[in-house]
C-alpha cells in the first residue's frame, strides 16, 4: 500500500470479506448494528478504540494495521500451546540478539 491512499473503511471491508463475514455478523461479534459496521466501512463514522480492538482480534490483525501504522510483521501464536509459544519467542529473541551483534560487527569492520 505504499503508493495507495490509505482508506480505513476499505481496509475494514477487505478484512471482513477475507474473513467471509457479513456486516451483520461483524456487528453481532463486536456489539454494534449492521448499519454501524456499514458506516465504519464507508468512512462515515470512526469506531471507538474498544471496537477497533475487538475488530483486530476478529480479523487476526493488529491495531497498527487497522490504523495504517504498521511497519512490522505480526505472527499469531494463539493456536499454539504455551510451551510452543515460549519456544518461538525464545528463538525470535535469540535471532534479534544475533542480528544486533552482527550489525555491530559490520560497523566495526
Q: What is the pLDDT of residues 21-79, one digit of tens each?
A: 999 999 999 999 999 999 999 999 999 999 999 999 999 998 888 888 876 566 777 78
Residue 8 has pLDDT above 70, yes or no: yes
- On whether residue 1 sits in a domain, the answer given is no
Can you tell me the distance from the alpha carbon of 77 to that of 56, in angstroms, rounded to the nearest whole number?
Answer: 15
- Structural domain tally of the chain? 2
Q: Cell numbers of 72, please?
A: 512490522
CATH code for position 43: 1.10.260.40
Query: Looking at per-residue confidence, does 106 or 42 come out higher?
Result: 42
- On whether residue 50 sits in a domain, the answer given is yes
pLDDT of residue 64: 86
Distances (CA, A) of 33 to 2, 9, 67, 96, 97: 33, 16, 22, 44, 47
| pTM score over 0.85 | no
pLDDT of residue 5: 55
pLDDT of residue 16: 96
Amino acid at each position: 500500500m505504499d503508493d495507495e491512499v490509505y482508506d480505513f473503511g476499505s481496509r475494514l471491508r477487505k478484512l471482513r470479506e477475507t474473513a467471509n463475514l457479513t456486516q451483520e455478523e461483524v456487528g453481532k461479534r463486536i456489539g454494534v448494528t449492521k448499519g454501524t459496521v456499514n458506516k465504519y466501512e464507508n468512512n462515515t463514522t470512526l469506531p471507538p478504540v474498544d471496537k477497533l480492538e475487538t475488530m483486530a482480534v476478529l480479523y487476526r490483525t493488529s491495531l497498527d494495521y487497522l490504523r495504517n501504522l504498521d511497519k512490522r510483521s505480526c505472527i499469531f501464536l494463539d493456536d499454539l500451546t504455551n510451551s510452543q509459544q515460549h519456544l518461538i519467542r525464545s528463538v525470535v529473541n535469540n535471532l534479534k540478539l544475533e542480528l544486533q551483534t552482527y550489525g555491530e560487527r559490520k560497523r566495526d569492520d
